[in-house]
Amino acid sequence: MQESHDAASLLGVPADHLYFLGYPDRGILQIITDNYITPYRSKFTDATAVPYSSALSPGHAYTGFNLERDFETVLDRVHPTLVLAPSPRDSHPDHRATGVVAIAPWHAATKLSKMRYWIVHGASSGQRRAATSPTWT
Protein backbone atom coordinates (compact mmCIF):
# COMPACT_ATOMS: atom_id res chain seq x y z
CA MET A 1 0.00 0.00 0.00
CA GLN A 2 2.88 2.34 0.76
CA GLU A 3 4.28 1.88 -2.75
CA SER A 4 0.88 2.76 -4.18
CA HIS A 5 0.67 5.86 -1.99
CA ASP A 6 4.17 6.90 -3.09
CA ALA A 7 3.41 6.34 -6.79
CA ALA A 8 0.08 8.16 -6.57
CA SER A 9 1.77 11.07 -4.84
CA LEU A 10 4.30 11.34 -7.67
CA LEU A 11 1.37 11.47 -10.10
CA GLY A 12 -0.37 14.16 -8.07
CA VAL A 13 -3.17 11.92 -6.78
CA PRO A 14 -4.15 12.92 -3.23
CA ALA A 15 -4.07 10.18 -0.59
CA ASP A 16 -7.79 10.61 0.09
CA HIS A 17 -8.47 9.61 -3.53
CA LEU A 18 -6.96 6.13 -3.04
CA TYR A 19 -9.04 3.13 -2.02
CA PHE A 20 -7.59 -0.19 -0.93
CA LEU A 21 -9.94 -3.15 -0.62
CA GLY A 22 -7.44 -5.42 1.16
CA TYR A 23 -8.44 -8.81 -0.21
CA PRO A 24 -5.79 -11.57 -0.25
CA ASP A 25 -3.11 -12.16 -2.82
CA ARG A 26 -3.78 -15.32 -4.86
CA GLY A 27 -7.26 -15.69 -3.38
CA ILE A 28 -9.53 -13.49 -5.50
CA LEU A 29 -10.65 -16.17 -7.98
CA GLN A 30 -11.54 -18.60 -5.22
CA ILE A 31 -13.33 -15.83 -3.32
CA ILE A 32 -15.64 -15.04 -6.25
CA THR A 33 -16.26 -18.70 -7.10
CA ASP A 34 -16.04 -21.04 -4.10
CA ASN A 35 -16.33 -18.45 -1.32
CA TYR A 36 -19.03 -16.10 -2.49
CA ILE A 37 -20.87 -16.43 0.85
CA THR A 38 -18.55 -18.36 3.17
CA PRO A 39 -15.25 -16.66 4.12
CA TYR A 40 -12.06 -17.63 2.34
CA ARG A 41 -8.95 -18.32 4.45
CA SER A 42 -5.75 -16.83 3.01
CA LYS A 43 -3.05 -19.42 2.34
CA PHE A 44 -0.38 -16.87 3.18
CA THR A 45 -1.73 -15.01 6.22
CA ASP A 46 -4.45 -17.35 7.54
CA ALA A 47 -6.75 -14.29 7.65
CA THR A 48 -10.46 -14.66 6.79
CA ALA A 49 -11.22 -10.93 6.73
CA VAL A 50 -9.66 -7.65 5.58
CA PRO A 51 -6.90 -7.05 8.16
CA TYR A 52 -5.92 -3.48 7.23
CA SER A 53 -7.31 -0.58 9.23
CA SER A 54 -6.69 1.73 6.27
CA ALA A 55 -8.70 -0.43 3.85
CA LEU A 56 -12.13 0.61 2.63
CA SER A 57 -13.91 -1.94 4.86
CA PRO A 58 -11.63 -3.28 7.60
CA GLY A 59 -12.93 -6.54 9.00
CA HIS A 60 -15.03 -7.44 5.96
CA ALA A 61 -15.03 -11.21 5.60
CA TYR A 62 -13.20 -12.49 2.54
CA THR A 63 -16.30 -13.34 0.48
CA GLY A 64 -17.22 -12.67 -3.11
CA PHE A 65 -20.32 -10.83 -1.95
CA ASN A 66 -18.26 -8.42 0.17
CA LEU A 67 -15.66 -7.93 -2.54
CA GLU A 68 -18.32 -6.98 -5.08
CA ARG A 69 -20.03 -4.69 -2.57
CA ASP A 70 -16.74 -2.95 -1.72
CA PHE A 71 -15.94 -2.42 -5.39
CA GLU A 72 -19.40 -0.98 -6.01
CA THR A 73 -18.89 1.36 -3.02
CA VAL A 74 -15.77 2.73 -4.69
CA LEU A 75 -17.65 3.22 -7.96
CA ASP A 76 -20.43 5.06 -6.11
CA ARG A 77 -17.90 7.36 -4.44
CA VAL A 78 -15.76 8.06 -7.48
CA HIS A 79 -18.25 8.06 -10.40
CA PRO A 80 -15.50 7.18 -12.89
CA THR A 81 -15.79 8.05 -16.54
CA LEU A 82 -13.41 5.22 -17.45
CA VAL A 83 -12.51 1.97 -15.68
CA LEU A 84 -9.31 0.11 -16.52
CA ALA A 85 -9.39 -3.54 -15.47
CA PRO A 86 -7.46 -6.73 -16.07
CA SER A 87 -9.05 -8.98 -18.64
CA PRO A 88 -11.16 -11.94 -17.52
CA ARG A 89 -9.05 -13.83 -20.10
CA ASP A 90 -5.76 -13.19 -18.28
CA SER A 91 -4.19 -16.45 -17.15
CA HIS A 92 -3.27 -15.05 -13.71
CA PRO A 93 -6.16 -16.03 -11.39
CA ASP A 94 -6.24 -12.73 -9.43
CA HIS A 95 -6.16 -10.67 -12.62
CA ARG A 96 -8.88 -12.78 -14.24
CA ALA A 97 -11.12 -12.59 -11.16
CA THR A 98 -10.60 -8.85 -10.77
CA GLY A 99 -11.74 -8.37 -14.36
CA VAL A 100 -14.90 -10.35 -13.63
CA VAL A 101 -15.62 -8.30 -10.50
CA ALA A 102 -15.08 -5.06 -12.43
CA ILE A 103 -17.41 -6.02 -15.27
CA ALA A 104 -20.45 -6.93 -13.18
CA PRO A 105 -21.66 -3.49 -12.03
CA TRP A 106 -20.82 -1.89 -15.35
CA HIS A 107 -22.58 -4.58 -17.34
CA ALA A 108 -25.70 -4.17 -15.20
CA ALA A 109 -25.61 -0.42 -15.80
CA THR A 110 -24.94 -0.86 -19.55
CA LYS A 111 -21.73 1.14 -19.23
CA LEU A 112 -19.32 -1.40 -20.72
CA SER A 113 -18.24 1.21 -23.25
CA LYS A 114 -16.56 2.96 -20.30
CA MET A 115 -14.29 -0.03 -19.63
CA ARG A 116 -10.93 -1.00 -21.06
CA TYR A 117 -9.11 -4.26 -20.37
CA TRP A 118 -5.55 -5.48 -20.54
CA ILE A 119 -3.90 -8.89 -20.46
CA VAL A 120 -0.57 -9.37 -18.71
CA HIS A 121 -0.23 -13.14 -18.49
CA GLY A 122 -0.77 -15.66 -21.26
CA ALA A 123 -2.14 -13.68 -24.14
CA SER A 124 -1.29 -13.49 -27.79
CA SER A 125 -1.30 -10.08 -29.46
CA GLY A 126 -4.67 -10.96 -31.00
CA GLN A 127 -6.17 -11.55 -27.58
CA ARG A 128 -4.73 -8.24 -26.33
CA ARG A 129 -6.42 -6.37 -29.18
CA ALA A 130 -9.73 -8.12 -28.50
CA ALA A 131 -9.47 -7.35 -24.80
CA THR A 132 -9.32 -3.59 -25.39
CA SER A 133 -12.58 -3.51 -27.29
CA PRO A 134 -15.41 -2.04 -25.18
CA THR A 135 -17.86 -4.57 -26.63
CA TRP A 136 -15.69 -7.58 -25.82
CA THR A 137 -17.23 -10.05 -23.35
Please state, in angstroms and as integers, the Cα–Cα distance from residue 6 to each residue in 2, 11, 79, 80, following that order. Answer: 6, 9, 24, 22
Higher pLDDT, 83 or 27: 27
Q: If you average pLDDT over residues 103-123, what whole number do you get?
A: 75
Average pLDDT (34-43) is: 97
Tell if the pTM clears 0.85, that is, is over it: no
- The C-alpha atoms of residue 27 and residue 98 are separated, in whole angstroms, by 11
pLDDT tens readout for residues 44-57: 999 999 999 999 99
Per-residue model confidence as pLDDT tens digits over 73-109: 999 998 888 888 999 999 999 999 999 999 888 766 6
Q: What is the pLDDT of residue 45?
A: 96
How many Cβ atoms sit within 10 Å of the Cβ of residue 110?
A: 8
